[in-house]
Amino acid sequence: MNTDATVRADFAARLYDKLSAAEAGKNLFASPFSIQAALAMCAAGAKGNTRQVLAGFIGAPVNVADQNRQYADWIESINAVGGRDFQLTTANALWGQQGFRFHADFRKAIADCYDGAFHEVSFQAMPDQAVQSINAWVESKTGGKIRDLIARDLITSDTRLILTNAIYFKGRWECEFDKGETWDEAWHGPSGERHVPMMQQRRGCLYHECDEFQALDLPYRGERLSMLVVLPRKVDGLAELERTWSAANTYEQTTESLAYEEMVIVSLPRFKMATEFRLKSVLCAMGAAQAFSDKADFSGIASEPVTISEVVHKAFVEVNEEGTEAAAATGVAMAKCASAPSQPKCFLADHPFLFVVRDRSTNAVLFFGRVLEPWLVVGG
């Protein structure tokens, strides 16, 4: 795997570790890509120690020009893979306070390398209109799945800039599940046993197993993207699996082990969830505290000192017999400083598991999540 993919996967693993702990007992879904892309735009305008901290935090090159080229290639790659087989798009935008002087080279870098348009709004005189404009943009870029990303209370008299990223994916399985083969089966979750609709399929697919878990890679049409489902052996083994998953290189080692197809009997629940987070405390705990402090140096963005005041994130996913629809958006608010066996494998996902929607060609983690209770739609 190339170095860029490795550092992005490391960010995803660290983020999952912190979010899973912060959201204990809840379903989880988020897009590390979206969060990383939004923070990368901030990092493009960071200087000095703040630049070093943020670059290391998101796994970007210390040199800003190198980072910008890396993200330009990454975003172009994401937007280029969509088409007749599936939809996959990402978009960025800047929302700046009217009359506030942003450096022209920062705006140009965001436009050229992150495909991010600049929009003037008035957070001070017309905050409600500013919120409405940002949220309408996010909704339009996520197929209507992410609404009200920016809450009114996020805007203060000190707000100078909001950076937004949106990502949307809709893909059909390479081999769709037959709806006639979906039936209720027992799900063994934290709240006990409950019957849920379980999709059934017997098929050949990339598969890996070890003493602790089974991993199944289900491709979408075109086979460029897939959903990696990681199922602990033990019914109550998700917490132990999560500790293993957050360790260095576990994701890479698992995907590298998906070298051969096995015949597998798959049982997977339908599920749907929507999540939302305010990430300041999580990101600070991960090592980005300086970017949120009065000591932050974002002088590459503007001459007047600014700092990150909050990072908000919303995500949506629905998995059914046809495929997967997923969307996520991130907003960063910046304020003025103050070969097959004879017998098939059995993959019975009838208890909590984690999953990753990934780009097989780069191994980039576009979305990740866990399912504790498939019937809980909002938040978990």
Per-residue pLDDT at 1: 44
Per-residue pLDDT at 245: 86
The model's pTM: 0.93
Determine if residue 133 is left, alpha or beta; phi over 0 gives left, psi from -120 to 50 gives alpha, anything else beta: alpha
Q: What CATH number corresponds to the domain at position 318? A: 3.30.497.10
Q: What CATH number corresponds to the domain at position 217? A: 2.30.39.10
Return the bridge partners of 169, or none: 88, 326
Structure token pair of residue 315: 């995500």
Instruction: Kindly state whether residues 58 and 137 are assigned to the same domain.
Output: yes
Contact 118, 315 (CB under 8 A): no
Backbone torsions φ then ψ of 344, nearest 5 degrees = -70, 150
Residue 317 three-state SS? strand
Instruction: Kindly state whether residues 53 and 120 are assigned to the same domain.
Output: yes
Taking 70 as the pLDDT cut, the residues of the chain under it are 1-7, 81-84, 248, 338-342, 377-380
pLDDT per residue as tens digits for the range 200-225: 999 999 999 999 999 999 999 989 99
Instruction: Kindly state whether residues 199 and 165 are assigned to the same domain.
Output: no
Per-residue pLDDT at 379: 54
Per-residue pLDDT at 340: 42
Element (H, E) at 262: strand 261-269
Count up the domains in the chain and report the number: 2
Instruction: Kindly state whether residues 332 and 344 are assigned to the same domain.
Output: no
Contact 110, 92 (CB under 8 A): yes
Domain that holds residue 319: 3-171+272-336
Per-residue pLDDT at 380: 47
Contact 87, 170 (CB under 8 A): yes
Per-residue pLDDT at 341: 46
Say if 264 falls within a structural domain: yes
Mean pLDDT of the chain: 91
Instruction: Kindly state whether residues 229 and 348 are assigned to the same domain.
Output: yes
Q: How far apart are CA 92 and CA 110, in angstroms?
A: 9
Contact 328, 313 (CB under 8 A): yes
DSSP labels for 114-125? S-EEEEEE-TTT
Per-residue pLDDT at 251: 92
Per-residue pLDDT at 139: 97
Per-residue pLDDT at 301: 96
